């Protein structure tokens, strides 16, 4: 993290280049607690396909209004393109 907005672009570029360089050493997953703002594809990678679909089902059943959304959010059906 940094405080000077003037270094946003070079720092972001450096991190993305490092990420790309490290991909050959990766097993292909991500750690869910380090995702920050994640899209559905990154959440799928973190949980794996089967567990992600199970979580979508649980979310659809127990939180269809998306009350619990201040986490690595799995969107309910009205927000989720990948709903089962």
Structural domain spans, the chain: 30-84
Predicted TM-score of the model (pTM): 0.58
pLDDT at 75: 79
The DSSP symbol for 75 reads P
DSSP per-residue string spanning 44-74: HHHH-HHHHHHHHHHHHHH-TT----SSSPP
pLDDT at 83: 43
Q: Mean pLDDT over residues 19-41, rounded?
A: 80
pLDDT band at 81 (very low <50, low <70, confident <90, very high): low
Residue 48 has pLDDT above 60, yes or no: yes
């Amino acid at each position: 993290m940094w405080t000077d907005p003037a270094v946003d672009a070079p720092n972001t570029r450096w991190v993305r280049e490092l990420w790309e360089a490290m991909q050959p050493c990766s097993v292909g997953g991500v750690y869910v607690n380090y995702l920050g703002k994640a899209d559905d594809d990154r959440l799928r990678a973190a949980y794996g396909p089967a567990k992600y679909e199970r979580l979508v089902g649980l979310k659809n059943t127990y939180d269809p209004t998306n009350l619990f959304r201040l986490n690595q959010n799995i969107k309910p059906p009205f927000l989720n393109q990948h709903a089962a």
